[in-house]
Amino acid sequence: MEFKTIQLSDKPIFDRLLEGNTFRASECCFSNLYGWAHKFNTQYAVFEDFLLIKFSAVPGQCSYLMPLGKGDLKTAIEALFSDCGCKHRFEMSGVTERMWQTIEMAMPGVFEKVPTPDSFDYIYTSEKLIHLTGKKLQSKRNHINRFKKENNWQYVSLNEHHEVLTECRRMLTEWYHLNIATHDESLRLDYITTMDFLHNFDELGLCGGAICVDGKVDAFSLGTRLTDDTFIVHVEKAFADIHGAYTIMNQQFVEHETVGYTYINREEDMGFESLQKAKMSYHPDILLEKNLVKYKLD
């Protein structure tokens, strides 16, 4: 079984094998796996009707996603055992509780799980993010009202106005240089991923929106379908010195680009306290727990 580096041209393969996926985990998405492949050295293989994903960012170490697809899960996991070469070193990451139950049914008592809070996904109802009702979200409404009052603004759909993608790339570069001094290597990797998304917007099947102030892009967001009822937001960028820019970008993007979806997955916080605080401030409806699943030693 040969694992290969993910290429943009592999999207049809992923789309076929992920068709019908009902797991709301952010990893169950081609654009996420492709976009961050440069960080995690992500590779894939096809085994029968399963998509197999392998991460090997650290030389000599690897982890896998739970095989995604249809068929005998036990056989697919055993194929991963063979690739790993040592059951005692074998592990699967990003395993939600529902995935864990599926694994236990296929191979009872073989594995143990360890929660990985930095990878928990923040999921909200689209209705909450659009309407921001209730006392808990009063401050969000205040930020938006102030932004609207202080700025000559408009929302622009990137799917309808592709020419604005160029302006988004310019804004991203400016945003990166403003923030690089206060961040570590993760910001550079984020910049690479986001720029790739902007350059390959159509090929990745993304949806996008921007907030323009006086005709200039000051915020933008990108995402795509995750499941039939869940949309995933990959990117949200705004200039922090413009009061309410992030808040209105979030609200307008969901209102305009996620019609028909019940839930919005805004991905994990990666252990960054600032991201955790920002995502918790919207009071997630689901904090999707994920686990590292390891072979249980005797």
**33 domain residue, yes or no:** yes
- The C-alpha atoms of residue 155 and residue 170 are separated, in whole angstroms, by 18
**One domain for residues 52 and 104:** yes
- Say what the pTM is: 0.96
**One domain for residues 113 and 136:** no
**One domain for residues 206 and 91:** no
**One domain for residues 100 and 131:** no
| C-beta of residue 34 within 8 angstroms of C-beta of residue 197 | no
Read off the pLDDT of residues 48-81 as tens digits, 9 standing for 90 and up: 999 999 999 877 789 999 999 999 999 999 999 9
**One domain for residues 51 and 180:** no
The residue segments making up the domain with residue 93 are: 4-120+290-295
**One domain for residues 17 and 108:** yes
| C-beta of residue 192 within 8 angstroms of C-beta of residue 38 | yes
Residue % of the chain over a pLDDT of 90: 92
The answer to which of 48-52, 70-74, 82-86, 165-169 has the lowest mean pLDDT is 82-86
**One domain for residues 58 and 156:** no
| HSE-CB of 89 using CA atoms within 13 angstroms | 10
**43 domain residue, yes or no:** yes
The domain spanning residue 44 has which CATH number? Answer: 3.40.630.30
**8 domain residue, yes or no:** yes
Q: Tell me which residue of 297, 294, 298 sits closest to 84, measured CA to CA.
A: 294
**One domain for residues 257 and 132:** yes
| C-beta of residue 168 within 8 angstroms of C-beta of residue 268 | no
**One domain for residues 147 and 48:** no
**178 domain residue, yes or no:** yes
pLDDT top residue among 60 and 241: 241
Number of domains in the chain: 2
Q: Tell me which residue of 129, 157, 125, 122 sits closest to 255, measured CA to CA.
A: 129
Q: How far is CA 18 from CA 103, 112, 228, 240, in A?
A: 18, 26, 12, 36
